[in-house]
């Protein structure tokens, strides 16, 4: 009763294919693959932000100063 045999998993797989269909399962697989690829690319470009910070640019800004015009630089002050 603890673990399922291979026959149990095959029956579950057959039911899933019958419910969703192969086309929808293929689309979900490609969407998942695209999401993983996007995550990996984001992790690679995340290292670029560290390089910009090391070059003297504040976090969240590009080193050449082309920050968005809606960015507001605020300095927090303590109450006396």
pTM confidence score: 0.41
Instruction: Please tell me the number of Cα atoms within 13 Å of 58 on its side-chain side.
Output: 8
**Which pLDDT tens digit goes with each residue over 51-62?**
555 555 555 555
Residue 25 phi/psi, 5-degree rounding, is: -65, -35
**What are the CB-based long-range contacts (under 8 Å, 24+) for 66-75?**
none
Residue 21 phi/psi, 5-degree rounding, is: 85, 155
* pLDDT computed for residue 12 by the predictor: 92
* pLDDT computed for residue 32 by the predictor: 92
Query: Tokens representing 38?
Result: 């996007």
């Amino acid at each position: 009763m603890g673990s399922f045999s291979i026959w149990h998993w095959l029956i579950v797989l057959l039911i899933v294919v019958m419910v969703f269909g192969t086309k929808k399962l293929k689309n979900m697989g490609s969407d998942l693959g695209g999401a993983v690829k996007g995550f990996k690319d984001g992790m690679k470009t995340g290292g670029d932000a560290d390089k910009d910070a090391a070059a003297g640019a504040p976090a969240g800004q590009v080193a050449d100063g082309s920050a968005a015009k809606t960015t507001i630089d605020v300095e927090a002050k303590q109450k006396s």
